[in-house]
Structure 1
């Protein structure tokens, strides 16, 4: 319990997962700002055809920023769940991989999108796998 009395207002101490989530959250925020501020090239528009049929790039940029902010929030809160930020980042990376793949399959996006599918799929898997790792402070030290 915190001084205010409510356990949901408490913060976790800063640990290794906090560092990874903070750095990744900042990267997601920067990706989002690029989608908001930098006009898409024709090639990128074609590669992201499915996403752009759903919403304009600025909206997608907002999604990236929100997920980045969620990742930053997850560095310290809530005290009972240390790795939930990885779920949001993994989900968005998997969605982005699917968007590239489906744009190639159904909308004639260039086959070079296979690289983006591989990269975003790998990132989705990486966030999922990192979430299962223990903080170094949690590993018992040998005598």
Structure 2
């Protein structure tokens, strides 16, 4: 629903829905699988690393969206915004677990960025592009 909603809200081409959903499924699937083996912080990095080359390859297809158009919904899926909000709220309430949650959120966001950079390097080679431009 999230992917279809993004395409409708951003007035995307109907042919791009399948590609955006593919990127979202790859991001989410890799994140869930990595969570089992590596834990929550590194799962975001693996999800970002897996989805970024898929976004590049999708952009090279005849009816594929631009890499950024399929990459951005996957990024929004991975960023732990709610976890950070809960951590800040707990911290402001004086709860010591809020600081731990906030640190975990920051570490997760750094891991996602590292996964995006590594995935962009792989994706640019797979799609035949010389430069790496994701963010």
Report the TM range for the smaller structure's normalisation. Answer: 0.3 to 0.5
TM-score (norm 2): 0.41
Structure label with greater radius of gyration? 1
TM-score (norm 1): 0.40
